[in-house]
């Protein structure tokens, strides 16, 4: 069977999953889905497994930059194939994860990760995939790292800025720099 994956220009799949949204008793879990990002820019990033080593460094870095995403009117979502109880236990146990400001989505059935085409062949865990989704639900950027290599959150923000200009942005462009004008004539 050929592995297919969701890529740039395609619609992000519809989903509804349980997520850890708080450590406050009675408010820990919530259903998060397509309805929560409808009509908004969104960034969804995936990590392979809870209680591992590279993953918390990435999750903590996304959390440190949370207001950078919200300042760009962008919904930030994290996800893995671990269940919501494992997510909760990890947040309680790990100092850098206790005060997360975005949901940790539990794709326990692996259905969304499978539809996205980001499950590793051997362990069936999600690769380190990052999606930028526009307000129409179209994937505008996807980046997938090997399981052993953490991603660059500053690059996610740089690409988000470029996409939100809706203009031509040259190599290494950063917010505030000139965009390109197409040649006419």
Active site residues: 55
The rounded distance, in Å, linking the Cα atoms of 16 and 33 is 4
End-to-end alpha-carbon separation of the chain, Å?
A: 48
The rounded distance, in Å, linking the Cα atoms of 44 and 46 is 7
From the number of C-beta atoms within 10 Å of its C-beta (0-12, 13-18, 19+), residue 108 rates as middle
The rounded distance, in Å, linking the Cα atoms of 164 and 162 is 5
Strands annotated E in 107-170? 128-133, 139-145
The rounded distance, in Å, linking the Cα atoms of 180 and 175 is 13
Q: What's CA 80's distance to the chain center, in Å? A: 10
Angle between helix 54-64 and helix 153-165 axes, rounded to 10 deg: 40
């Amino acid at each position: 069977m050929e592995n297919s994956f969701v890529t740039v220009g395609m619609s992000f799949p519809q989903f509804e999953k349980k997520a850890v949204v708080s450590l406050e008793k009675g408010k820990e879990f919530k259903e998060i889905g397509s309805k929560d990002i409808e009509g908004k820019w969104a960034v969804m990033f995936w990590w392979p497994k809870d209680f591992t080593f590279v993953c918390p460094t990435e999750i903590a870095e996304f959390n440190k930059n949370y207001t950078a995403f919200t300042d760009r009117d962008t919904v930030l979502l994290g996800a893995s194939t671990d269940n919501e109880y494992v997510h909760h236990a990890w947040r309680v146990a790990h100092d850098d994860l206790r005060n997360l400001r975005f949901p940790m989505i539990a794709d326990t059935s692996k259905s969304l990760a499978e539809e996205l085409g980001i499950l590793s062949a051997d362990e069936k865990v999600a690769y380190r995939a990052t999606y930028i989704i526009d307000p129409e639900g179209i994937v505008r950027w996807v980046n997938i790292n090997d399981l052993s290599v953490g991603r660059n959150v500053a690059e996610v923000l740089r690409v988000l800025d470029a996409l939100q200009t809706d203009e031509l942005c040259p190599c290494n462009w950063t917010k505030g720099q000139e965009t390109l004008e197409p040649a006419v004539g």
